[in-house]
Structure 1
Amino acid sequence: MDTEEGYSDTSQSRGFGTWTTSDRDADFGWVDAVNSNNHMQPNPEPPRVQPTDETKNAAAAQASTTDNSQKVSKKSNMTISEERNAKILPMKKNPLYNVNLAIEKLNEYPMLKVRKNKRGEVIPTIREEKLGPIESVVSRFCQDVLCISRADTLPLSSQGERHLIWVSSIKAKHIINHLNGNGCYVVNRFPGGVFLKDKQVMGTTLREFMLERRNYCMKRCGANEKTPVDDSDDEDTGGVTYRICTHMVQSMRTDEEGCTDEACYNFGKQVCKHLDIFIPEVQSFSSYNALQDFSNRLDDELKGQLFVCKPSYLYKGLGFRFFHKVEDFQKFYHMTIGKETSRHDFLVQRVIKDPYLFNGRKVDIRAFMLIMTLRYRRVVAFINPGFCRVASAEYEPFNGQPSDEDQEPEEPENTKPMTPRKMRDREAEELDEKMQMLACPYQTKQERAERARRMSENQLFTDREDRSKELDEVFRSESLLEKIKGQIKHIGMRLASAIESKIWDAYGCYQIFGLDLCVDENHKVWLLEVNSQAMSEVDLLSPTQRVVVPAVIMESIGLVVECMYKSKNGLRLRKSPIDEFKETGFLFAQNFTMVFSTLKRRRTDYLPPRKPPPRVIPFYQRVDMVDHMIRQTDQRKFETTEMRRKVLAEKANYKSKVKAKDEEES
């Protein structure tokens, strides 16, 4: 590359070098280097160069190699379309995202798709080697739709240019720390993503939305209300409750009915609307006293409830453990007499008691949330309902009572006791059965082997074999589907507002989060966890995910490019890039819905309204006002003097009466 201003090789001194795609994470970047002053000019044609003998020989050699490759492909019949190829994700002909409609809007507003730098040359690209399925979708969408070229190195000096970057988390941290100071780099990672991806930190950040007895309404709604149902004044029932009782924690019911126990103080009261609960109880332990307190709760108020113990950073059900007994909990956490603690990187979460079933199996939802930080500390969030995942085994209700299988069978006297190896095998079988029933993305050994065979033979799952379903297939009622989508949007809004103050300084950053949600039998949506790598569990053999995931990626990148351009040029997000009085909405939005935006008074560009100047009073009116105040003061002095005289007269009269009475008695 040329060593001209903005494209020198000085980036290698800071640890970047040439961005190749040979790594597993495919660390590469797409650069849209555009001068902000020339964004309305048409793209000039590249100069024509006369071919030399060397270029002719190279072109002939390349043509011969392509002909040979086509002959080999025809002989082996390996030409497979994108829709049937199990190793790539199709981008075109997507029913959830119309690419042609996006291209038409870009043709109407060409300032969003320019691909020339300030010198008028196309930025050179690197070879696409070993790209993953997600990176391939990003690369094809940026090149074919947005007309963004891929560069070898990232320029350090931007000078009004924009650079769209898609890299791994490690390289994103380096870019954010060194290059994002001028605000012209758009990076696909957040420096504050740990507040959501770490399950322990998420439990602390979203503590106010968790189902716990400690949560209550800060406004204390209904604390002083007395609305008796009967005419008697002895019973104070009805009204609104501002706190959560033990029975609500046990039954996981926080709807309008409230507590159903007649002996509870919350019986017959509606739950306060400010008690916004959508996270089941999550506990992490850092001391022996915390372990002991939770162990005591398992014997008292949480007796018979099912919990799952899972690591903070793993996914796909790895490292999960289920328990409902105190003995199992103490055994897993190694609670000894010496008061030592372990398993600090694990947490305990309540399992949804009565989940929503689809054909007798548990269902969870994978939703997608796009968050980006714009100028002036403005945080914007979008939500996509995503798709549903069905468990591999039928759900069996858990009532907390020991079943016949849990009870140890009586062994005859002559038989030998179980060896530790047999006990471990038995525990592994029980865990596998629970995982198939409770963890929807879990895969058994047989399923993994079958999946590997299908990947090698390019055989996709049929609609009946696919365990991923769209929301309208699972929730077939329109009213129920709208209710579920409304709750998902509400959860996304709460998540964005919770981390707003932690990420609003990271201008030019965006990230796609994956939300794992579960629905109970009362159609209430619960948030289980948040994944920073939203595309980490993509099933390339699932027809549903092969449609949903590319649509989410393409729409997210389009929204990021559009919002960043409008924010940088001082335009409104829902207005046209050309006419600020024309309402066009978001040009790339098709399935995403905007659920959060920073309030105007909290941004740095907010100017508070000026106070009106004080009213000017004429001189003669001010004289009259002063005279009136003097008369009022004299009147108050006269009244005070008269009151003192009356008090002294009453005291003197009282003393004379007492003195006369004493004289008569003496």
Structure 2
Amino acid sequence: MFTFVHRMINHFPTHYEITRKDLMVKNVKRYRKELERDGNPLGERNEQGRYVHLDFIPVTFMLPADYNLLVEEFRKSPNSTWILKPAGKSQGVGIFLVNRLAQIKKWSRDSKTPFNPALVKDTYVISRYIDNPLLIGGKKFDLRIYVLVTSFRPLKVYLFKMGFCRFCTIKYDLNTQELDNMFVHLTNVSIQKRGAEYNSIHGGKWSMENLRLFLEGTRGRKVTDKLFSDINWLLVHSLKAVAPVMVSDRHCFECYGYDIIVDQNLKPWLIEVNASPSLSSTTANDRIMKQALIDNIIKVVLPPDGIPDVHWNKVPPSENLTDFELLLDEEIAAQLENARDRGQASNLPRWR
């Protein structure tokens, strides 16, 4: 019989610190401010007040708490479009776009006052809409990227190489008459598969490999490599932002589903992180990819003898990584740093 030491759980106790939209933004903002306060170069800002190295989430406010700040931002940019989402829901539920404050007042069901928190039953996040998304075939898409975390202290992060793109079924149009058309703006498969233009053969999906080939052919190898490097940077620092508030139980691991949008300048933006990304398949390629994901996760999180053990240092043999690649292992990083100080770095394994 297995004791508790031989059990593993596929969620960290406080995973919601990154998977709730409001907490994710709160933690990233706190992380940036702490780096800035400590004089860390990563906390540098430019002349416009934007973070030079950590500007990977859109301008975002919490409602109802930040309503006055939102009003001030609306006045600075009266022609901007914003996207409003419930903080704790998924699959596109309760999302809509606004470009006037009056629309938010109507949503709050009390147009007589600036905002009535008592009428809002849940926290919402409202973010500046990425209105210049990179389009392929005239359609908007986002990236679904799988990231495996086996420990938060020290942080151990692995990237699954077989992510994919999710396309809208209708060509992108920011015309105000199309703001309510979720088939234009939301890439969620749960929404798109209800549209008349949905193709069940390819499921509106592209492999990450196809995206890379397309970008290399249309934009060039150099900028494509930079985009994927920027995505890796985003993944690592979003996890570093929440690591201090995570309960890093040694019995736990987690596979997060990251949703990222790329704009026309090939800049990636973190939209949200899913704690239980869908493992159901809509196409044959989808099924193959997700079966590989599950199989690869098991190979990484279990020790070489295949028996769960919390005393294991969670450093899998390189052959067990298969379709995962190591993004960060703070334990190895610390060893490398110490070895460099002693002039012995060549004796340690390389990592990215």
In the superposition, the TM-score normalised over structure 2's length comes to 0.78
Cα offsets for 1:586-623 (capped at 9, x unmatched)? 222122111122347989xx9xx9xxxxxxxxxxxxxx
Q: Distance in 1 between matches of 2:34 and 2:241?
A: 16
The one-letter amino acid paired with 1:573 is: V
Matched, 1:530 2:269: no
Which residues of 2 match residues 78-477 of structure 1 at below 5 A?
158=3, 179=4, 183-208=5-30, 217-218=36-37, 242-244=44-46, 271=52, 275-287=53-65, 290-299=66-75, 301-333=76-108, 334=110, 336-337=112-113, 340-341=116-117, 342-343=119-120, 344-373=122-151, 377-385=153-161, 386-397=163-174, 432-433=180-181, 435-441=182-188, 447=194, 461-463=200-202, 466-475=203-212, 476=214, 477=216
- Is the contact between residue 144 and residue 260 of structure 2 (CA under 8 Å) also seen in structure 1? yes
Give the Å deviation of 1:218.
4.0
- Is the contact between residue 165 and residue 208 of structure 2 (CA under 8 Å) also seen in structure 1? yes
1:381 match: secondary structure: strand
- Is the contact between residue 472 and residue 481 of structure 1 (CA under 8 Å) also seen in structure 2? no
- Is the contact between residue 295 and residue 329 of structure 1 (CA under 8 Å) also seen in structure 2? no
Distance change >3 Å, CA 316–CA 391, structure 1 → 2? same
In structure 2, stretches of 5+ residues that fail to align are 342-352
Q: Distance in 1 between matches of 2:307 and 2:226?
A: 34
1:557 match: secondary structure: helix
Distance change >3 Å, CA 587–CA 335, structure 1 → 2? farther
Give the Å deviation of 1:568.
5.7
- Is the contact between residue 373 and residue 508 of structure 1 (CA under 8 Å) also seen in structure 2? no
Aligned counterpart in structure 1 of residue 315 of structure 2, from 573, 577, 581: 573
Q: Partner residue of 1:484?
A: 227
CA RMSD of aligned residues (A): 3.6
In terms of fraction of residues, the more strand-rich structure is: 2
Cα offsets for 1:180-228 (capped at 9, x unmatched)? xxx3321112101110111111111111578xxx899446699xxxxxx
Which residues of 2 match residues 602-621 of structure 1 at below 5 A?
none
- Is the contact between residue 468 and residue 542 of structure 1 (CA under 8 Å) also seen in structure 2? no
1:186 match: secondary structure: coil
Distance change >3 Å, CA 544–CA 207, structure 1 → 2? farther
Matched, 1:545 2:286: yes
Cα offsets for 1:150-169 (capped at 9, x unmatched)? xxxxxxxx2xxxxxxxxxxx
Distance change >3 Å, CA 503–CA 326, structure 1 → 2? closer
- Is the contact between residue 6 and residue 309 of structure 2 (CA under 8 Å) also seen in structure 1? no
1:501 match: secondary structure: helix
Give the Å deviation of 1:302.
2.3
Cα offsets for 1:383-404 (capped at 9, x unmatched)? 1241111111101246xxxx6x
The one-letter amino acid paired with 2:17 is: F
Q: Partner residue of 1:597?
A: 329
Cα offsets for 1:18-50 (capped at 9, x unmatched)? xxxxxxxxxxxxxxx5xxxxxxxxxxxxxxxxx
Q: Distance in 2 between matches of 1:384 and 1:184?
A: 25
Give the Å deviation of 1:439.
0.7
Give the Å deviation of 1:571.
6.7
Distance change >3 Å, CA 395–CA 215, structure 1 → 2? farther
Q: Distance in 1 between matches of 2:62 and 2:209?
A: 36
Q: Distance in 2 between matches of 1:462 and 1:485?
A: 28
- Is the contact between residue 189 and residue 510 of structure 1 (CA under 8 Å) also seen in structure 2? yes
- Is the contact between residue 281 and residue 349 of structure 1 (CA under 8 Å) also seen in structure 2? yes
Higher relative contact order (CA 8 A, sep 6+): 2
The one-letter amino acid paired with 2:128 is: R
Q: Distance in 2 between matches of 1:208 and 1:557?
A: 33
Distance change >3 Å, CA 216–CA 481, structure 1 → 2? same
- Is the contact between residue 390 and residue 467 of structure 1 (CA under 8 Å) also seen in structure 2? yes
2:299 match: secondary structure: helix
- Is the contact between residue 17 and residue 24 of structure 2 (CA under 8 Å) also seen in structure 1? yes
- Is the contact between residue 82 and residue 128 of structure 2 (CA under 8 Å) also seen in structure 1? yes
Cα offsets for 1:387-434 (capped at 9, x unmatched)? 111111101246xxxx6x5xxxxxxxxxxxxxxxxxxxxxxxx5552x
- Is the contact between residue 209 and residue 276 of structure 1 (CA under 8 Å) also seen in structure 2? no
Distance change >3 Å, CA 450–CA 486, structure 1 → 2? closer
- Is the contact between residue 216 and residue 243 of structure 1 (CA under 8 Å) also seen in structure 2? no
Distance change >3 Å, CA 522–CA 508, structure 1 → 2? same
Q: Distance in 1 between matches of 2:166 and 2:192?
A: 19
Give the Å deviation of 1:330.
2.1
Distance change >3 Å, CA 566–CA 320, structure 1 → 2? closer
- Is the contact between residue 311 and residue 345 of structure 1 (CA under 8 Å) also seen in structure 2? yes
The one-letter amino acid paired with 2:296 is: E
Q: Distance in 2 between matches of 1:598 and 1:221?
A: 18
Q: Partner residue of 1:59?
A: none
- Is the contact between residue 142 and residue 262 of structure 2 (CA under 8 Å) also seen in structure 1? yes
Give the Å deviation of 1:446.
7.8
The one-letter amino acid paired with 1:447 is: R
Q: Distance in 2 between matches of 1:498 and 1:567?
A: 28
Q: Distance in 2 between matches of 1:499 and 1:242?
A: 20
Q: Distance in 2 between matches of 1:570 and 1:194?
A: 25
Q: Partner residue of 2:349?
A: none
Matched, 1:556 2:334: no
Q: Distance in 2 between matches of 1:279 and 1:446?
A: 27
